[in-house]
Amino acid sequence: MPENAASFLETVMREERVFAPSPEFASRARIKSQEEYENLWNEAQQNPEAFWDKIAQTELHWFQPYSQVLQWNEPFAQWFVGGKTNASYNCLDRHLNTPWRNKAAILWEGEPGDQRTLTYQQLHREVCKFANALKGLGVKKGDVVSIYMPMTPELVIAMLACARIGAVHSVIFAGFSAEAIADRNNDASAKVQLTADAGWRRGKQLPLKETVDAALAKSPSVQKCVVLRRIGNQVNMQEGRDFWWHDLMQDASADCPAEPLDSEHPLYILYTSGSTGKPKGIRHTTAGYNLYVKKTFEWVFDYREEDIFWCTADCGWVTGHSYIVYGPLSAGATQVMYEGAPNWPAEDRFWEIVEKYKVNIFYTAPTAIRAFIKWGDRHVDKHDLSSLRLLGTVGEGINPEAWMWYHRKIGGERCPIVDTWWQTETGGIMMSPLPGAIAAKPGSCTKPLPGVIPAIVKEGGQPVEQGQGGMLCIAKPWPGMLRGIWGDDERYKQQYWSRVPGMYLTGDNARCDKDGYYWIMGRIDDVINVSGHRLSTIEVESALVSHPNVAEAAAVDRPDEVKGQALSVFVIVRDAEPSDELREELRQHVGKEIGAFAKPDEVWFTAALPKTRSGKIMRRLLKDIASGKEEVGDTTTLEDLNVLAKLRAHEE
Ligand code: ATP
Ligand code: MG
C-alpha cells in the first residue's frame, strides 16, 4: 500500500462546467452577489455569536429574551440560553396579525386527486384543537408522541400540536414495519401513538392501523392511540386505548395558547436513514433549530412572498421536518404538499402538479431525478413547467449528468439548481449555492452557508492539502446542530466527537477545489480501494452515469485474492439491453473517464439497487453481495428485501 493509503482520497473527476445565475435572477435575489455572500460568511465566521444573536432577535418570537447566545461545553451546545419561545407559535401565531393570516399555508393534493387548502389561520385553528385533544389524552410537556401517518395535512397539524404544548414528536416514515415502529417507540419511551386507518401508495392501501396494532403489542410505554380516518377501511379499535381523530376534534376547544418553552426544550427525535448501519435517534431542540431552518430556507430557496414552494420529501425524514414544516411555515411560505407516489396514476404526476399549482421552487432527491430520467422525457414534455424559477436537490450526491438533465429538462436552462448538502444531525442545510450569488458546478454543493465552518482532515485531524479528499468535519457549533442521540450521550460522543479532536465529524468525505467549492465524495466507510488508489464512490458512479445507457450506478470494492481489492459496479441500464458487449463498453468507458486502474473488475446489471426507505443507495449491502457474504448487515431500513435476493441469484 502506498504511504497515502489511510490519509487522503484522490480525485479523478474532471468536471469543469460552471453555471452562473442570470442577471435577472441575481438582481431580484435576497443575496445578490458572491461579494455579498462572502461578506455575510466572513461576518459570521469572525463572530458567530454576534451574527446569530442579531438574527435571532428579529426572526423568532421570544416570550422571554435569552441571556446568553451560546454555551459551548464540547460536545454539548446550548443556544439562546434562558430564552423562551415556541416553534408552533413561530410557524403560526406570528402570522396571524399580518395579512398572511389569509395566505395559503398548505395546498394539499391527495394521491387519488382530492385537494385541500389550509390558510395560516385555518391551520392555526386545527393545531390548537388537536393540541387540546392531546392534552385531553394526558400528554404533558416532555412526553414523547410517536407519529406514523400518511402525508396528509393532519401529519403537519400533529407535529405542530406537539410543539405547541412542549410534547416531543418522533415521526416514523409510514412505510416502516411494525418491528421498526416498536424499536423506535421503545427507544424513545413514546407515550401516545398517532396513525391513520390506511394511506395511499401507488393506488394501493397501506394498512397503517394494522401495522400499528402489531407495533403496539410490543410497545409497552404507549398508552393511547389516535387514528385519523383517511380511507375509511375497516380497522380494529381497542376500547380505552384507541380514539378517532375526528371524535377528539369535535369536542376540542380551539383555544390553546402556545406554551413558552426553554430554548433548549426538546422539539423532536428523528431516526437517521440507516444507510450506514443502525439508525440513530437524533435529538433536536427548539430555538436554535427553528432559527436555523427558517433562515436557511430563506437564503437557499430565495423565498419570496408570492412564491409557491414544493418539497417532495416525506415528513418522515428530516427534509420534511425542516423544509415542509418548520422552515417554510416560520417564513410564512405557501407550499404544495403531496400525499403519494411520483408514478401514480402515471409517471408524469409530479409535472402535472407543478403545472396545476404553478410551482415556483421545486426541491427533490437525486433518486427521484434518476427515476425520471429512466422513465423517459415524454412524461416531462407533456407539461408546462414555465412557472419554475428555482430547483433543488437533497439526500445524496447528484451525478453531473443527472444534474445536466435536471437543468435542461426541468429547469428549461433558466433555473438555478441548489444542491444542498446536510444531514439529519445538522438540522438544516449546511452547504449549498445561494442561487443568486454562487455559480453552480454540476455535482458540487459549492459553498458553506454563513455560520458554517467546514474542515477537511486526514485521520488524526491534520488538514489535507488543497484539492485532496478527506473527512468532512464542521469546526464550530451552529444553532441547528443535533444536541445528542436520544438517551445515549456516550454514543453521541463516540460517533461524532471522538475520531477528530475538537470538531464535529460528519461521516462523509469531501474535497475542496481551487475555487473553494466543496465536493462530497461519499461516506467515510464506503471509500473504494483499488490498485493502491483510494477513490470516492460518487466519482466512479458519475463516470458510469455519464454513459448514455446508464441510468443509475453504485460502486464498491471487495477483497480479491490476486489484486488485494477489486472494483465491482452495479448498473441499471436505460435505452439498451444488458449484454456482454455493453459490459465491456462500460469498463472501457470508466477506463477512459478515470484511468485504466479504475476499470471495474465486475459489472453487475440489475433492475434495482438496494435503497433505504428514504431512497438512498445502501452500498454496504452491495459490498457484502460483491464479497459473496451470505449474511449481510442491518437491513431494517431497506426498502425492498427482494432486491438483495435477486442480486444474489444474479437475476437481472
Ligand atoms: P445513517 O446516518 O443512518 O447512515 P443517512 O446518513 O443516510 O443514514 P441522513 O441524515 O438522512 O441519513 O442523510 C445524510 C447523508 O446524506 C449525508 O451524510 C450524505 O452522505 C448524504 N447527502 C445528503 N445530501 C447530500 C448532497 N447534497 N450531496 C451528497 N451527499 C448528500
Ligand atoms: Mg448519516
pLDDT of residue 6: 53
Atom of ligand 1 nearest to the CA of 271: 3
Query: Is residue 327 within 8 Å of residue 297, measured between CB atoms?
Result: yes
Task: Give the ligand at the shortest distance from the Cα of 426.
Answer: 1
Ligand 1 touching residue 273 (CB < 6 A): yes
pLDDT over threshold 90, residue 630: no
Instruction: Give the pLDDT band (50/70/90) at residue 3.
Output: very low
Closest ligand relative to 396 C-alpha: 1
| Overall average pLDDT of the 445-452 stretch | 98
- Enumerate domains of the chain plus CATH numbers: 526-649 (3.30.300.30)
* pTM assigned to the model: 0.97
CA distances from 140 to 144, 161, 170, 222, 548 (A): 9, 12, 15, 14, 57
397 lines ligand 1 (CB under 6 A): yes
Residue 92 neighbours by CB under 8 Å, 6+ apart: 120, 123, 124, 127, 160, 329
DSSP category for residue 395: S
Gap between the Cα atoms of 645 and 628, Å rounded? 12
CA distance 156 to 331: 15
CA distance 595 to 60: 53
Residue 506 pLDDT level (bands cut at 50, 70, 90): very high
For the cut 70, the answer to whether the pLDDT of residue 652 exceeds it is no
User: Residue 332: what residue type?
Assistant: G
pLDDT at 641: 86
Task: Say if strands 224-228 and 242-244 run parallel, antiparallel, or are unpaired.
Answer: parallel
- From the CB of 424, is ligand 1 less than 6 Å away? yes
Nearest alpha-carbon partner for 94 in 306, 332, 268, 281: 332
Please work out whether the CB of residue 508 comes within 6 Å of at least one atom of ligand 1: yes
CA of 156 to the centre of ligand 1 (A): 23
Q: Distance (Å, rounded) from C-alpha 285 to C-alpha 492?
A: 15
Q: What confidence score (pLDDT) does residue 4 get?
A: 45
The enclosing H or E element of 204 equals strand 204-206
The preferred substitution site among 391, 422, 429 for testing ligand 1, maximizing ligand atoms within 8 Å of CB, is 422
CB atoms within 10 A of CB 14: 9
pLDDT at 650 over 80: no
80-94, 449-463, 469-483, 638-652: the lowest-pLDDT one: 638-652
Strands 281-285 and 266-271 turn out to be: antiparallel
What average pLDDT does this structure show over 179-207? 97
Q: Does residue 434 surpass a pLDDT of 80?
A: yes
Higher confidence at residue 532 or residue 167? 167
Determine what percent of the chain is predicted with pLDDT higher than 90: 92
Which ligand is closest to the CA of 424, given by its number?
Answer: 1
How far is the C-alpha of 65 from the C-alpha of 60, rounded, in Å? Answer: 10
pLDDT band at 341 (very low <50, low <70, confident <90, very high): very high
- Is 80 exceeded by the pLDDT of residue 605? yes
- The per-residue pLDDT for range 263-303, each reduced to its tens digit, is 999 999 999 988 888 889 999 999 999 999 999 999 999 99
Least confident of 267-271, 398-402, 581-585, 626-630: 626-630
Measured from the CB, is residue 395 less than 6 Å from ligand 1? yes
* 616 Cα nearest atom in ligand 1: 7
DSSP annotation of 465 reads: P
**pLDDT over threshold 70, residue 651:** no
Q: Strands, DSSP E only, in 213-276?
A: 224-228, 242-244, 261-262, 266-271
Residue 520 near ligand 1, beta carbon < 6 Å: yes
The predicted-structure confidence for 6-46, as pLDDT tens digits, reads as follows: 578 988 888 899 999 999 999 999 999 999 999 999 999 99
- Closest residue by Cα to residue 109 from 100, 120, 118, 101: 118
Q: What is the Cα Rg of the chain in Å?
A: 24
Nearest to 621 by CA among 587, 590, 651, 648: 648
Q: What is the mean pLDDT of residues 537-560?
A: 96
User: Which of the four pLDDT bands, split at 50, 70 and 90, describes residue 563?
Assistant: confident
pLDDT-based confidence at 633, cuts 50/70/90?
A: confident
Whole-number percent of the chain with pLDDT over 70: 99
Q: What is the pLDDT of residues 222-274, one digit of tens each?
A: 999 999 999 999 999 999 999 999 999 999 999 999 999 999 999 999 999 88
Distance in Å, CA 159 to ligand 1 centroid: 23
| Spatial separation of the C-alpha atoms in residues 498 and 446, rounded to whole Å | 27
pLDDT for 1 equals 36
> What pLDDT is attached to residue 631?
77
Q: Given the C-alpha cell 384543537, which residue does it identify?
A: 129
In the predicted model, what is the mean pLDDT of residues 496-515? 97
Q: Confidence class of residue 122 from pLDDT cuts 50, 70 and 90? A: very high
CA atoms within 13 A on the CB side of 13: 34
